[in-house]
Amino acid sequence: ETGVTQTPRHLVMGMTNKKSLKCEQHLGHNAMYWYKQSAKKPLELMFVYNFKEQTENNSVPSRFSPECPNSSHLFLHLHTLQPEDSALYLCASSQKEGDSYEQYFGPGTRLTVT
């Protein structure tokens, strides 16, 4: 599980705060993903980066802003979040986007918006 790391593991923020989530993969992969996991709901894909280019944005509100400076690092910048944004945010990576490649997940950041 050390192949994909995420920091912080827990985050509590107010609705007016700005914070960032960080993800780093040590697997030599070229695709990285952000997912939102809420209780009793399927994983929601938020963003996909393939070779540092954003290839998917699943109608995510603009208060979530991703950044991928290189193939190993992925950030999710947060600002003016709502309480319903409280969830586990998972980062994943795969060799490339799509095809038969499985994704490898980090441990997640548990976000609470107060």
Q: Catalog residues that contact other proteins under the rule CB under 8 A.
A: 1, 4, 6, 40-43, 45, 48, 55-56, 90, 92, 97-100, 102-108
- What's the min distance (Å) between Cβ of 30 and other proteins? 13
The nearest distance, CB 42 to other proteins, in angstroms, is 5
Which of residues 41 and 83 has its CB atom nearest to other proteins in the complex?
Answer: 41
Max Cα distance, the chain (Å):
41
- Cα–Cα dist 34/39, whole Å: 17
Shortest approach of other proteins to residue 9 CB, angstroms?
Answer: 8
Which lies closer to other proteins via its Cβ, residue 18 or residue 53?
53
Cβ proximity to other proteins: between 42 and 69 the closer is 42
Give the residue with the Cβ less far from other proteins, 5 or 17: 5
Give the dihedral sign, CA 81/84/89/94: negative
Give the DSSP per-residue string, 28-81: --SEEEEEEE-TTS--EEEEEEETTEEEEE-S--TTEEEEEEETTEEEEEEES-
Residue type for position 105: F
